């Protein structure tokens, strides 16, 4: 019998973490202000880390903290106190990539569950078993692996396995990149990647400085290292039946809208499979949900074939999305039918919006009235960032519900 895998969602800050939990994640992974590989993702102060753990544990969810940089000597001084703090606040596991950090954790906080980050390039069963023998509870598989390889590792390894199933793909091997270091001095392996692979490039001949020659694979453009995003939703049955223990969504630097929408889409898909495996099909509305958030064109990565030209985006570096996040419901008064909403994008009376709830049904409504919460006056438009308004709702609505409009309806 196939074990139901954990759904693991990204959390770049406290608000994203709460949204991921409320929209269906079994666990979240996040980073502190240091020692993780997303230095520009917002990240968590000591106090926020504690609050995140308490919020998750109160709802039966888990929190994994990234400590997966490749540290230099200067990074090691403050690391022991940080590790002890993570144990003190009852973090569920740490994600590490460096052997020295792993052994330091084993010495200082021996009871802490340790997961081996994808940054450690875990691509074969021998490596996975070696980490288990050293004391790892889980190994995160590299994204450069096929379904066939993953199944073989599952057969030969008695340790928890985690794999990415959705999100950005790195042009370099599991993130082991020096482009950012070379161009900007920002060390991608210590959390400061400048995403140089997403830039537009041209060729300069040494004796003719300033004269740029375009680089073109064909007539589509010059973003020669710009990979499509991974999306395994259409193949979620194969993913589940591969036997991995945790299915991971990439995206700690993505939006609140992304954290909620992608998490809920995969939550519904996983639950639907286990409700009736024999008759399971991927529903159109789940794929539509993944189109609504900001993303690049989708690919299956290495899962079924070696990536080729069709897995790159040559003509642009921008993102696509079909919906804009315009408001977040803070509370709802059933007696009056009004919700208190925090504006996140321009909203106005007469606009048709979609009501996307953590657990309740998705529905559409037309904004018929808005009241400024501070002045108590009727308004026709809410243009100010994070303006608090009251809005009449046609149906009850949950706290933390996302309000969004079609991009075409701007």
Rounded average pLDDT over 234-263: 95
CA 132 – CA 114 distance, rounded (Å)? 10
Strands (E), 98-228: 114-116, 138-140, 160-167, 202-204, 212-214
Whole-number pLDDT of residue 178: 62
Higher pLDDT, residue 197 or 11: 11
Whole-number pLDDT of residue 401: 98
Inform me whether the pLDDT recorded for 104 exceeds 90.
yes
Whole-number pLDDT of residue 109: 98
Whole-number pLDDT of residue 273: 98
CA 250 – CA 147 distance, rounded (Å)? 18
- Residues 114, 136 contacting (CB under 8 angstroms): yes
Rounded average pLDDT over 150-161: 98
Our CA angle for 408, 371, 354, nearest 5°, is 30
Task: Determine phi and psi for 274, rounding to 5 degrees.
Answer: -75, -15
**Band of pLDDT at residue 216, cut at 50, 70 and 90:** low
Report which secondary-structure segment, H or E, holds 63.
Answer: strand 62-67
Inform me whether the pLDDT recorded for 296 exceeds 90.
no
Instruction: Considering the domain delimited by 323-409, tell me its CATH architecture.
Output: Beta Barrel (2.40)
What residues does each domain of the chain span?
Answer: 6-173+228-311, 323-409
Percent of the chain with pLDDT over 90: 68
The long-range contacts involving 136-141, CB below 8 angstroms and separated by at least 24 positions, are: 136/102, 137/93, 137/113, 138/93, 138/113, 138/114, 138/162, 138/245, 138/246, 139/115, 140/95, 140/115, 140/116, 140/164, 140/248, 141/244
> How many Cα neighbours within 13 Å face the side chain of 3?
11
Cα–Cα nearest to 226, from 174, 172, 276, 274: 172
**Band of pLDDT at residue 97, cut at 50, 70 and 90:** very high
Inform me whether the pLDDT recorded for 38 exceeds 60.
no
Q: Are strands 114-116 and 388-392 parallel, antiparallel or unpaired?
A: unpaired
Whole-number pLDDT of residue 410: 59
Whole-number pLDDT of residue 393: 94
3-state secondary structure of 133: helix
pTM of the full structure:
0.86
Whole-number pLDDT of residue 217: 52
Per mean pLDDT, which range of 134-148, 151-165, 225-239, 372-386 is the poorest? 225-239
Supply the mean pLDDT for the chain: 88
Instruction: Please identify, in words, the CATH class of the domain defined by 6-173+228-311.
Output: alpha beta
User: Best-predicted range by mean pLDDT among 164-178, 192-206, 286-300, 309-323?
Assistant: 286-300
User: CB within 8 A of 275, min separation 6: which ones?
Assistant: none
Inform me whether the pLDDT recorded for 272 exceeds 90.
yes
């Amino acid at each position: 019998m196939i074990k139901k895998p954990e759904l693991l969602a990204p959390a770049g800050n406290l608000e994203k973490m709460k949204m991921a939990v409320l929209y269906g994640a079994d666990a979240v992974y996040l980073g502190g202000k240091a020692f993780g590989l997303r230095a520009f993702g917002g990240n968590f102060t000591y106090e926020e880390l504690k609050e995140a753990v308490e919020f998750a544990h109160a709802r039966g969810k888990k929190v994994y903290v990234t400590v997966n940089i490749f540290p230099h000597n200067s990074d090691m001084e403050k690391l022991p106190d940080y590790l002890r703090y993570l144990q003190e606040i009852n973090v569920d596991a740490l994600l590490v990539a460096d052997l020295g950090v792993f052994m330091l954790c084993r010495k200082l906080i021996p009871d802490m569950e340790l997961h081996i980050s994808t940054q450690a390039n875990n691509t074969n069963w021998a490596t996975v078993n070696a980490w288990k023998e050293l004391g790892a509870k889980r190994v995160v598989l590299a994204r450069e692996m096929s379904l066939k390889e993953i199944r073989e590792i599952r057969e030969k390894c008695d340790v928890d396995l985690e794999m990415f199933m959705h999100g950005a793909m790195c042009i370099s091997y599991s993130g082991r990149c020096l482009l950012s270091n070379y161009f900007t001095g920002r060390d991608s392996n210590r959390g400061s990647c400048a995403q140089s692979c997403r830039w537009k490039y041209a060729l300069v001949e040494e004796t003719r400085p300033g004269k740029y020659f375009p680089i073109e694979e064909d007539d589509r453009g010059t973003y020669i290292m710009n990979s499509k995003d991974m999306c395994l939703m259409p193949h979620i049955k194969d993913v589940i039946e591969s036997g991995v223990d945790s299915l991971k969504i990439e995206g700690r630097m993505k939006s609140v809208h992304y954290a909620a929408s992608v998490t809920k889409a995969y939550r519904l898909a996983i639950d639907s499979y286990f409700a009736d495996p024999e008759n399971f099909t991927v529903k159109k509305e789940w794929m539509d949900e993944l189109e609504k958030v900001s993303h690049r064109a989708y690919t299956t990565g290495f899962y079924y074939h070696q990536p080729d030209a069709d897995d790159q985006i040559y003509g642009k570096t921008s993102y696509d999305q079909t919906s804009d996040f315009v408001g977040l419901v803070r509370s709802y008064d059933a007696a009056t039918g009004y919700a208190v909403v925090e504006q996140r994008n321009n909203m106005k009376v007469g606009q048709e919006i979609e009501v996307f709830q953590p657990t309740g049904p998705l529905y559409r409504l037309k904004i018929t009235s808005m009241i400024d919460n501070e002045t108590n006056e009727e308004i026709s438009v809410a243009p100010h960032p994070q303006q608090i308004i009251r809005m009449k709702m046609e149906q009850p609505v949950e706290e933390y519900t996302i309000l969004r409009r079609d991009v075409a309806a701007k």
